[in-house]
Amino acid sequence: MITVQPALESLTILIAEDSAADRMLLSSIVRRQGHQVLTAANGAEAVEMFRQQRPQLVLMDAMMPVMDGFEAAAQIKALAGETLVPIIFLTSLSENQALARCLEVGGDDFLAKPYNQVILAAKIKAMDRLRRLQATVVQQRDQIARHHEYLLNEQRVAKAVFDKVAHSGCLNAPNIRYLQSPYALFNGDLLLAAFTPAGDMHVLLGDFTGHGLPAAVGAMPLAEVFYGMTAKGYGLAETLREMNAKLKRILPVDMFCCATMLCLSVQNRSVEVWNGGMPDGYLHSVASGERTPLTARHLPLGVLSPPTFDDRTEVFPMALGDRIFLLSDGVIDTCDADEQLFGVQRLQQVFAANRQPDTLFEDIEQALRDFRGEARDDVSMVEVSLPAPTQASPPLPIYSDSGQSCPLDWSASFEFRAATLKRFNPLPYLLQLLQEVHGLRAQSGALYSVLAELYSNALEHGVLGLDSSLKRDVSGFTRYYQQRNARLDELEDGYVRVHLQVTPQGEGGCLAIRVEDSGKGFDVGRVLERPVDPVRLSGRGISLIRQLGHNASWSDDGRSARVEFLWKALA
Amino acid sequence: MADEHLDLDALNELREVMEDAYPQLLDTFLADSEERLQALREAGKAAQLVGVAHSFKGSSSNMGAVKLVALCDELEKNAEKLSPSEIHELITAIDLEFAIVRPLYEAERQRSLAES
C-alpha cells in the first residue's frame, strides 16, 4: 500500500535554462505553485548547483551552452545515485530522435514550450509521487536488508551456542557418517550422538515442525535431556519419555519433533529402535544384503501427554559392518517441477543401484539433483554402524569433589518389585551411588556393563522367564523382544534384589555385587561349560561378566549371581 | 493588427503569472532577442543557426510571438538545405518581424507600468 499525502509537499526545484526570459518565467510559475527555486544558465552550472543544494527535482533545457542538458542530466543522475531525482526536459524539440535521447540519458518526462501552468503542475505532482515511491522502496529495501542482517547474526549466535551443545556428543566417531546443511538446525533438523556408560551408542535424528529460530529453540532442551540421560546410563525408553514430557510441556500445541532414536550395542550386537513420525530408516545387513525398514510406530515427541506416551522399542540383531541409514523427510518429500514427490520408491532404487556403500549419500544427492535440478537445504542423512569395541570407552566424567568424604565401608540392599520393574530403570541410580566411591570411578564403564548385564539377566531370564536361546536367529531375536514386552506388561509378581557391599582392603577396597531374582534359575554348570558364542546373540552375557568382574559365581540354582570389583590405593 | 503577431491570451496569462515582474520579463525577452538576432546575423555554420533559431523559437513561443515562432521554426528546420541567399532572406524576415513586435512589447510594458 502506498499512501500519497494529499497536500503537495513544497519541493526544491532546479531550473536549468539558458534563455533568461524563459528562466524567469518558469521560476515565477514554479514559485507560484509553492516550491523553492534554484536556477542555472547552463548544464555545468546545473550540475554544480545540484552537487551543492541537492534539489529534489530538475527542469532542464536540452540545448544550452557550455554543457547541454543531456550531459548535465546524465551527471545529475549519476550524482543522485539511488535517490530518484526526476528530470523534466524543457524543450520545443520536435524531432522524435531528440526526444528519445532525453529519456535515454535519464530524463523522466518532457515539457514543451510554450509552458502550460496546469500541465507543469500536474507533471511536478506526478514526478513527486514517483520520487516518494522510490524513496519508500529504497527505505524498505534497506530496512529489509537490516532485518536480514540482524536475523543472520541471530542465527550465527544461536548456531554457535547450539554447536557447543550438540557437538558435546560423539558425532565425529568413526562409525558415524552424516550429511546436514550447515544451517539444517534452522530447518528443524537435529542430529545427536553420545556413548552410554556401558559403551553403547545413542543416536537421535530429529525433525522439528516449523522453520527458523522457533524450530531451533526446541532443539536445546531435547539435546540436554539426550546427553544428560545417556551419560547417566538411562535407556531409550526413559530418555524418550523424558524428552517427550519436556517437549510437551514447553512447546506450543502445533510444534512437535519427529524423531528416530537408536541404541547401538556392541556387546549385544543389536540395535534398539524407536521411531516417532520419521520416514522409514533402514538396517542394511551386509551378510544377507537385505534392508530392513525401521518404520515409525509412534507419534512424534511432544504430542502425547506423559501417561499416554508409548516408549516401546524394537530390537534388531546387528552384525559388525551392518549399517543403519536414517533420513529426514527433506529427502523423500523433495518435489520436482510438477510437484511430484521423490518418494520412497526412488530412494530404494538408489539403494539397489548403490554398489559402493561409502558413496550412498552422494548417490542419493545426485538422484535428488537429477530429479529436481536443485538441492533442498533441509536434507539430513546419517549412517551408523556398530561402534568398534575399543571406541566404546567414553571419556571419564570429571568429578569436583576432593574424595575426603568417600564412603568406604557400607552395604545396601534393594528389592525392585513387579510394578517397578515394568517402568523403572534402577541402573543409573545404582551407578551414581557407586560413583561416590572414588576407587570405582576408573572402572565405571565395566561396572555399568556388568551391572546392566546382571540386571537384565535377572529381569529377562529370571523374573520374565525368557529363553535366551531364542536369540539364536534373527526372527527369534524379534520374537524374544516381543515376548519380553508382552510379559513385562502382564507382570504381577516377582522381584529383582540388588545387594551392594563396599569394604576397605588395605589402601584399596572391594565392591561385591549380588543380584537375585524370583525366577526358576538355570543349570549353572551347563551354561558355564558352554564355549563362548562368538556372535553372542544368546548366552546370558555370562562370559562378559566373568571377563570384566572378579570371582563371578552363581548360586541358588542360578537365581543368585555374585561378582566383585577390586581397586588398589589411589594415586 | 497586433493579434496577427502576438497571442494576446498568452500575454494576459504572462501578466497574471509574473505580476510585478511582468515589465522585467518583457525587458529581458527584448534584450535576449537582440542578442539572438545578432547571433543569427553572425552565425557562420548551419548548426549554429539551428541552435540559435531553436532557442529563439522557444522563448518566442513562451512570449506569444506567434509569427516569430513560425519564422524561427522555418529557419531551424531548413537551415541545412537552404542556400546562403535564402538564409539571408529568412534572417531579414525575422529581423523585420522582431522590428514589428518590439514596439508592441514596449507598449505593453508601458501599459503595465502605468497600471501598477
Cα A128 to its chain centre, rounded Å, is 50
Residues of chain A with CATH 3.60.40.10: 167-391
Residues in chain A: 571
Select from A21, A90, A114 the Cβ nearest to the Cβ of B32. Answer: A21
- Chain B residue numbers with beta carbons less than 8 Å from the beta carbon of A19 are 32, 55, 58-59
Which grid coordinates belong to B33?
532577442
Closest CA to A563 of A455, A462, A425: A455
State whether residue A112 is helix, strand or coil. Answer: strand
Of A91, A93, A113, the CB nearest to B62: A113
Q: Where in chain A is the domain with CATH 3.40.50.2300?
A: 12-138
Residue contact A25–B17, C-beta within 8 A:
yes
pLDDT at A397 over 60: no
Residue A535 pLDDT: 46
Q: How many CB pairs under 8 A join A and B?
A: 58
- State whether A25 and B10 contact (CB < 8 Å): no
Residues of A in contact with B29 (CB under 8 A): 21
Q: What is the pLDDT of residue A94?
A: 67
pLDDT in the model for residue A538: 46
Distance from CA of B91 to the nearest CA of A (A): 20
On whether any CB of chain B is under 8 Å from the CB of A19, the answer is yes
Mutate: best of B55, B68, B72, B102, partner A, most A CBs <10 A: B55
Instruction: Tell me how many helices (H) and strands (E) chain B has.
Output: 6, 0
List Cα–Cα distances, A485 to A342, A343, A460, A479, in angstroms.
Answer: 36, 33, 10, 10
> Hey, what's the cell of B63?
512570449
Q: Is pLDDT of A346 > 50?
A: yes
Q: SS3 letters for A182-226?
A: CCHHHHCEEEEEEECCCCCEEEEEEEECCCHHHHHHCHHHHHHHH
Res A223 pLDDT > 80: yes
Q: Is the peptide bond before B103 cis (omega within 30 degrees of 0)?
A: no
Helix A427-434 with A219-232: angle, nearest 10 deg: 70
Q: Which residue has the higher pLDDT, A505 or A516?
A: A516
Please state the rounded mean pLDDT for residues A316-320: 90
pLDDT at residue number A340:
80
Look at domain A410-567 and name its CATH class. Answer: alpha beta
Check B62 against A25: CB less than 8 A apart: yes
Question: Residue type for A227, please?
Answer: Y
pLDDT of residue A401: 62
Burial of A165 (0-12, 13-18, 19+ CB in 10 A): middle
The pLDDT of A429-457, averaged and rounded, is 87
A29 touches chain B (CB under 8 A): yes
**What angle is formed at CA A92 by the lines to CA A91 and CA A95, rounded to 5 degrees?**
105
Predicted ipTM of the assembly:
0.93
- Res. A247: pLDDT tops 90: yes
Residue A491 has which C-alpha cell? 507382570
Min distance A72 CA to chain B CA atoms (Å): 18
What are the chain A neighbours of B28 within 8 Å (beta carbons)? 20-21, 24
Sheet holding A550-555: strands in order across?
Answer: A410-417, A495-505, A508-517, A560-567, A550-555
Residue B29 and residue A21: Cβ atoms within 8 Å? yes
The CA distance from A561 to B12, in Å, is 122
Nearest CA in chain A to B19: A28
- Mean pLDDT lowest for which of A296-300, A450-454, A520-524? A520-524
Task: Say yes or no for a CB contact (<8 Å) between A25 and B24.
Answer: no
Chain A, 84-103: which have a CB under 8 Å from a chain B CB? 90-93
Average pLDDT rounded to a whole number, residues A97-118: 86
Q: Is the pLDDT of residue A355 over 60?
A: yes
- Comparing CB atoms, the residue among A20, A28, A61 nearest residue B21 is A28
Whether A402 has a pLDDT exceeding 70, the answer reads no
In angstroms, the CA A543 to CA A536 distance is 10
Q: Is A352 on the interface with B (CB under 8 A)?
A: no
User: Is A147 an 8 Å CB contact of chain B?
Assistant: no
Average pLDDT over residues A393-418: 74
pLDDT of A352 > 70? The answer is yes
- Whether B95 and chain A come into contact, CB under 8 Å, resolves to no
Report for A165-169, A236-240, A346-350: range of highest mean pLDDT: A236-240
pLDDT of residue A350: 87
Of A19, A90, A92, the CB nearest to B32: A19
Chain A residue closest in CA terms to B64: A114
Q: Within its chain, how far is the Cα of A135 from the centroid?
A: 40
Owning domain of residue B47? 2-115
Are A186 and A213 in contact by the 8 Å Cβ rule? The answer is yes
Task: Assess contact for A175 and A384: CB atoms under 8 A.
Answer: yes
Question: Residue A335 has what pLDDT?
Answer: 77
- B12–A contact, CB cutoff 8 A: no
pLDDT at A568: 84
- CATH 3.30.379.10 for domain A12-138, yes or no, is no
pLDDT at A3: 44
Q: For A21, which of B13, B28, B54 is closest by C-beta distance?
A: B28
B37-92 per-position pLDDT tens digit: 999 988 878 888 888 998 999 999 999 999 999 999 999 989 888 888 999 999 99
Shortest CA distance from B50: residue in chain A:
A63
CATH of the domain at B18: 1.20.120.160
Backbone torsions φ then ψ of A204, nearest 5 degrees: -130, 125
Q: Note the pLDDT of residue A404.
A: 65
Reduced 3-state DSSP string for A113-180 = CCCCHHHHHHHHHHHHHHHHHHHHHHHHHHHHHHHHHHHHHHHHHHHHHHHHHHCCCCCCCCCEEEEC
Strand partners, A87: A58
- Binned at pLDDT 50, 70 and 90, residue A192 comes out as very high
CB contact (8 A) between residue A24 and residue B28: yes
Q: Which residues in A lie closer than 8 A to residue B21 (C-beta atoms)?
A: 24, 28
Looking at the structure of chain B, the number of domains it has is 1
Would you call A21 and B62 a contact, using CB atoms and an 8 Å cutoff? yes
- Which residues of chain A lie closer than 8 angstroms to B25, CB-CB? 21, 24-25, 28
Greater model confidence, A171 or A458: A458
Residue B70 forms contact with A (CB below 8 Å): no
Identify the CATH homologous superfamily for domain A167-391: PPM-type phosphatase domain (3.60.40.10)
All three cell numbers of A27: 521560476
Q: What is the DSSP string of A471-534?
A: GGSHHHHHHHHHHHHHHHHH--S-EEEEEEEEEEETTEEEEEEEEEESS----HHHHHHSPPPS
> Do the Cβ atoms of A339 and A293 come closer than 8 Å?
no
Report CA-CA distances (Å) from A110 to A118, A170, A342.
14, 71, 57
Q: What is the pLDDT of chain A when averaged over all its residues?
A: 85
Whether the predicted pLDDT of A489 surpasses 60? yes
Reported confidence tier of residue A403, pLDDT bands at 50, 70, 90:
low
Mean pLDDT for A343-359 is 83
Give CATH 3.30.565.10 domain extents, chain A. 410-567
Q: A185 falls in which pLDDT band (50, 70, 90)? A: low
pLDDT value for A558: 87
pTM: predicted TM-score of the whole model, two decimal places: 0.65
Cross-chain Cβ contact A92/B61 below 8 Å: yes
The confidence band for A507, taking pLDDT boundaries of 50, 70 and 90, is: confident
Interface test with A, best of B12, B30, B54, B68 (most A CBs within 10 A): B54
> What is the percentage of chain A residues whose pLDDT exceeds 70?
91
Higher pLDDT, A477 or A535: A477
3-state secondary structure of A261: strand
